[in-house]
Structures are given as C-alpha cells and as structure tokens.
Structure 1
C-alpha cells in the first residue's frame, strides 16, 4: 500500500502567505487543505503540518497530532542590551498595570491584546479581560528605521525580506536590499554559541534603531507572514515548526507550545 501523501493544513482565513505555501507544497508533491471549522477534521491522519494564527492553531493542533514550536516567552528579555538597543523585561500583566511611565507592552507569543505604546499601565486590559498572570514584555520605546524578517532553520537564515521602513510597509527581497550583508552579520550573533536558545525552526525580526542594529522580536515559524521571502524556504521552516508531535526533535521538545487557555 502506498504511503499517504502528507498534507499542509491552512486556517479558514485566506492569506497571501497561505496561498504561496500551498503552491510550494504542491510543487513538492505534498497535499494542501484549508480547514473550514475551528476543530480538527475527523480523519486528520495525513496532515503533517499547519500554517495558521495562534488562536486557530491552539484549537486544532492537538486533534491533528501536531507539535508546535515557539520561542521562549523571555527570549527577547534575555538578550543583552547590545542586541536589543532597549531595556526589556518579561513580567506579568498584573505588574505591568502598575507602570507609571510610557512603555511598549506586548504579549510574547500571542495577540491577546494590542501590542503598542501605553502611556502607563492603566491602559492595559483589566483582569476581566486578561488573567493577572499572563506574561507580557515591557520595553523602552524605540523607533525602528528599517525592519527585516528572517526565516531560520537549524541556526541558518534560509530566506529573508525587508518589510518596513520608518514604520510603513516597504517590502523587498533581502538579496535586493543594500544592507543584506549587515542584516546577516548582525543576525548571526543570535545563533552563536552561548546565545539564548531558540527552536530549530523560527522567525526572527531585526532592524535598525538610531543607526545601529537591534532585534525586534522572535516569532512562530508556523504563523508568520512571508513578505518577499522565498516560499520554498519558508515552507521548510513551517514543516519543522509545526510537525507531527512524535517527530519533534529532542532538542526542540522544550520549545513545544502549551495550550493553556480556552479556544472557541
């Protein structure tokens, strides 16, 4: 009996990245299916990966038998100032509500509330909307001049794209950007020996602040938009970042996403 063709599952929400990944999957002989409901299908046995937002992924990953890799919540805060260009703390939303100064506040790995500059902690969602112990990143306010998205597999940047200049969408393939070598040189420090660890498949955003390079954030490989990145290389990252739970590599088990909140 022939081995069933593995399928890449997509969320019901159509996106440009989802369409590009579907085409890349079909080019290499993989199946592709858009899931229509916020639950796993009754026969998910051939689904081997997933591209979707965190809420939808949380709703279906267990039923699909997938393990989802994500960056540690405190990864950005664990980096030295030389790599971030700003002071960053990983704390709880309850503590962040006590802030009496402006700060940029965001959930580390989700979009449970808007990531933006808050004049002080009083503007954050209350306990009726977000649990007190919800992790958040609180950072100094900076303005990135240019921002780049990098898809990384086994510590190697496999494709990249500029996606913004001065806060406005400005997309170009990394190899066409005059700062390509600077981007790659800076980002390589994030995967050098002794750097805070990341999953083997991950997305990292970097940029420039006041003429120096800085890390923006790390993102899920299975949920990040590709901008002008190479679709085949992005698919390689997705297939590792969301794979059958039994196939998660031993070094990546510590990066498995835990679903701890209710989903619809």
Structure 2
C-alpha cells in the first residue's frame, strides 16, 4: 500500500463502515470520517493516496477535493445483458417515460437511492418531487420476479474475492459464502457471467446474483443477475472485510492510478 494512504468514509456509522475502517487500519492506512465540509479539502491538501467509502451524493461532492476517481458500472449494463443472464425483461428509460407505464413493474435508479427500489402498481405510483430525481433521470424498469436466494460478490479483475448470501425469499439472511450456503449452479453461473461479460464492467465491482423463485414457492433452479453496484457504496453483509476492502480501494482510489480499461467507468473523467 502506498505510503500515507487513507480511507475517507461517510460520517454516518454503519457496520460496513466500521469493518472497512478496521480493515484499513490493520493494513497501515488511516480511516477518517468526513465529518464536515472542510474535511475533504484538508485531507486532499495533506497529500497521500486517497480512497473513499460512502454514498453517491457525498462521493460526488468530495471526489475532486480528495483526488479520487469513483468507478461506476454503466447505467445500461443490466438491460444490455442477454435474457439468459437476467431472467427477465429490463429496460432503461427516463423517469418521465416510466411515469406513463402500466404495471406492475419493479423500478430503481441505476446508481443512487433517489427513490426506493420497489414494485410499483403503475407509473403513476412512482415517487414525485425533487427527491425522486429530474424527469430525465435514468430509471431501470423490469418485470417483477421473486428471488429464492440472493448473493453479493466483491469482484476484482474478474475474480470473486469474497461474498455473502444476503437474503432468502426477500428477507435479510446474511451468511458466509460457503458451499453449504450456495445452491447448485451458483459457481457455474458466476463463472460464465464473468467470463462472458466481466470485460463490460469496471475492474472493481460488486455483483448481486440470485436464484429465481416460483410464484407458488420454491426455487426454479434458474440463476440471474440482480444488479451491479459500486463497491464504495455497498454493504458487506457477511463478506470478508479485508478482501472486500481490496475491491473498495480499487473502486474509489487516486485518479492518477486509474487503469486505461477503467477510464470509461469514471464519471467526468
């Protein structure tokens, strides 16, 4: 690790923030909560290799002062996948267009949390007002599916470094990523997904994949991608903090260290 490297974090306490901060300190880094508007400027001015963990709004506000590049999957990555990997129809469209859709459908912002990711009765039920985003803001809209189990994978250079089951049948159910907690087909699906489409993602990314459920109950045996996320804004659940930190540091590190393959995944670079 570069001398004087540090991890700037959200000021809001959470289990993930604490675990990543502890992992950073264990490897000789400083972990500093961004407690005020001047913290980022002070940290950026003192030099050293900056890294970041926190939300998109905070990240965009402090990235320039910290000299950090935030890697983000493309908004259209999920809908661009073949159906064999999504298990459902997914479209990317402006929020204004989504408001005119019949339902029900599942909708979420591609990156942030300007409105809740949820099933909506129809487009008119989507949240309104400034907090929901501008009319032209991108929205992912998909068929409604049920998940028997969902898993979070921290991926670096096409390799899963660590991961966790995080839900079963829509309920939080975090477990370590072990063979006893991964149903049949998990490893085959993950390997095929990364082999075929890993190059279309940042070198450091979080992938959520899941086992689809039948409407009447029970698993179908079919695997699908839930979504791709930014490691610098992802909950660990039961993943190994030290390994997850490796992915997080790459996903939000010094701008000058961004590899050529990742430049297209940095907003504004």
The separation in 2 between residues aligned to 1:26 and 1:63, in whole angstroms, is 22
Aligned residue number for residue 57 of structure 1: 59
Aligned residue number for residue 41 of structure 2: 41
Matches within 5 A, 1:16-165: 16-38=15-37, 40-44=40-44, 45-126=47-128, 128-129=130-131, 130-165=133-168
The separation in 1 between residues aligned to 2:98 and 2:199, in whole angstroms, is 24
The separation in 1 between residues aligned to 2:115 and 2:204, in whole angstroms, is 26
The separation in 1 between residues aligned to 2:180 and 2:55, in whole angstroms, is 28
Within the candidate set 166, 170, 173, 2:173 is matched to 170
Aligned residue number for residue 217 of structure 1: 227
Q: Is the 8 A contact 2:206 2:231 kept in 1?
A: yes
1:192 paired with 2:202, answer no
CA distance 1:128–1:23, shift in 2 (3 Å): closer
The separation in 1 between residues aligned to 2:8 and 2:59, in whole angstroms, is 10
1:251 paired with 2:261, answer yes
- For the residue of structure 1 that corresponds to 2:153, the secondary structure is strand
Q: Is the 8 A contact 2:3 2:49 kept in 1?
A: no
Q: Taking structure 1 as the reference length, what is the TM-score of the superposition?
A: 0.92
Q: Give the Å deviation of 1:194.
A: 5.4
Q: Give the Å deviation of 1:43.
A: 3.8
Q: Taking structure 2 as the reference length, what is the TM-score of the superposition?
A: 0.90
Q: Is the 8 A contact 1:96 1:138 kept in 2?
A: yes
Gap regions ≥5 residues in structure 1: 260-264
The separation in 1 between residues aligned to 2:252 and 2:197, in whole angstroms, is 26
The separation in 1 between residues aligned to 2:113 and 2:254, in whole angstroms, is 25
Aligned residue number for residue 217 of structure 2: none
Matches within 5 A, 1:5-20: 5-20=4-19
The separation in 2 between residues aligned to 1:243 and 1:232, in whole angstroms, is 16
CA distance 1:23–1:194, shift in 2 (3 Å): closer
The separation in 2 between residues aligned to 1:163 and 1:193, in whole angstroms, is 25
The separation in 2 between residues aligned to 1:124 and 1:42, in whole angstroms, is 40
CA distance 1:194–1:228, shift in 2 (3 Å): closer
Q: Which stretch has the larger CA shift, 224-233 or 36-45?
A: 36-45
More helix by share: 2
Q: Is the 8 A contact 1:106 1:113 kept in 2?
A: yes
CA distance 1:228–1:128, shift in 2 (3 Å): closer
Task: Provide the aligned C-alpha RMSD in A.
Answer: 1.8
CA displacement, residues 207-243 of structure 1 (integer Å, 9 cap, x when unaligned): 1113211110000011101111111110100110001
The separation in 2 between residues aligned to 1:16 and 1:214, in whole angstroms, is 28
Gap regions ≥5 residues in structure 2: 214-219
**Matched residue pairs, number?**
257
